[in-house]
Amino acid sequence: MRTPAEQPRGQGGFLLSQVHYLSRRVLGQRLRAHGIEEFNPGQGRIIFALWQGDGVTITELARRTSLERSTLTRMLDRMEKDGLVRREQQIKDRRSVDIWLTPRTREMFRAFANASNDMREVFYRDFSDEEIGLFEMTLDRILANLTATLDNTGGQPGRK
């Protein structure tokens, strides 16, 4: 590992991409180790967001997960087919659909929480509390910058 002085500048996006890819693989291993074979890490972020509160619209779920609605819709189609979530039309607005976890998915919460704790331990091994705080604060800033850029361009690359 390089010291901060030796680390080339401007590689944050590349490093985040590697972290994302490897963390998905490790999370997949951890999920299987805790007996969860029913969903993959990509679906796990949707399920995690719904464990925080389900009965939400696709628009709200897209906001919580930072997934595009079209991507989320395709993933929800598969998850509904696999019995992980269910869709229910709202009574007051028939055009709007709420997304709910199934009882089967709710039962996986403890195992998922244990797999998540394992990931946290792997992720932050040898980090001090101060380093964790600084890292997460930095990621929050990057996330805010990316979100603001999408908000300012309407999600279209190259538009200002």
pLDDT at position 2 is 61
What domains, with CATH codes, occur in the chain?
A: 24-127 (1.10.10.10)
62-71 pLDDT, tens per residue?
A: 999 989 999 9
99-143 pLDDT, tens per residue?
A: 999 999 999 999 988 998 999 999 999 999 999 999 999 999 998
DSSP for 5-36, please give it.
TTSPTT-HHHHHHHHHHHHHHHHHHHHHHTT-
- Least confident span in 49-53, 121-125, 147-151: 147-151
17 pLDDT higher than 60? yes
Contacts 24+ apart (CB under 8 A), 14-21: 16/142
* Paired residues of 89 in beta bridges: 97
